[in-house]
Amino acid sequence: EGQLLESGGEVVQPGASLRLSCAASGFGFSYYAMSWVRQAPGKGLEWVSGISADGTRARHIDSVEGRFTVTRDNSANVLSLQMNSLRVEDTAVYYCAKDYGDYAGHDASDIWGQGTVVIVSS
Amino acid sequence: DIQMTQSPSSLSASVGDRVTITCRASQGIRSSLAWYQQKPGKPPRLLIYAATTLQSGVPSRFRGSGSGTDFTLTITSLQPEDLATYYCQKYDSLPPTFGQGTKVEIK
């Protein structure tokens, strides 16, 4: 049974940077696309970023384009999300998720981590 | 971007009731639709993918149907442990948008 464990969330001020990590185990990490999905307090789910299995294709939603960068290290089974120029509206629980396929954002996500909390506040 | 609209936003039903949640896409998405269950304080759990395929380990009382623009998640006999918020997600194209969620409460 695969597992995902996120880390890196904390309280930061607007304009700060933060790097989230997601350690994968129990499945062939390098064969699957991975996604970051966030959930603002009391709100629904929002797909933020995704990266293909081989790491060559990464995509983000418009509201984080140019500020967030998703990467992966298939040798270490780690997914990362570099978040720059953070805004108050980026406050959320950030989940990493394994996609069924190898092309980011084009399949359901069958394994989810427990999430890491990012709070952007002055 | 394609928008996903779920209805109702919340419902209350009794144990044993049949519960139906609908999800409508603003454009056709073939069968590229998933349903997730999220219990309070927990991450989402995949229930259904490809509109109708039950994820391994999910009870058979959960059923998905539909294609194109209109989809349905049915819980054939509601159980106390089904207290949760349910989300649809389309994944035919980027971004893979979620519906706004349906909160299911037990009477």
* Element (DSSP H or E) covering residue B13: strand B10-13
pLDDT at residue A2 greater than cutoff 90: yes
C-alpha B61/C-alpha A18 separation (Å) is 42
Test mutation, B91, B93, B98, chain A, max A CBs within 10 A: B91
Chain B residues near residue A100 by CB distance under 8 angstroms: 49
Contact: A45, B92; criterion CB under 8 Å? no
The minimum CA-CA distance between B85 and chain A, rounded to whole Å, is 9
By the 8 A CB rule, do A93 and A116 touch? yes
Contact residues on chain B for A112, CB-CB shorter than 8 A: 43-45
Q: What is the pLDDT of residues A103-118, one digit of tens each?
A: 988 999 999 999 999 9
User: Amino acid identity of B2?
Assistant: I
The mean per-residue pLDDT over the stretch A12-32 comes to 98
pLDDT for A67: 98
Phi, psi torsion values for B9, nearest 5 degrees: -80, -25
pLDDT attached to residue B1: 87
Report the mean per-residue pLDDT for chain A.
97
CA of B99 to nearest chain A CA: how many angstroms apart? 8
CB contact under 8 A, B34 and A61: no
Question: Cβ of A112 and B49 within 8 Å?
Answer: no
Residue type, B43: P
- CA distance linking residue A64 with residue A58, whole number of Å: 13
Q: Kindly give the residue spans of alpha helices, DSSP state H, lying in chain B.
A: none
Residues of chain B with pLDDT below 50 are: none
The string of pLDDT tens digits covering residues A43-70 is 999 999 999 999 999 999 999 999 999 9
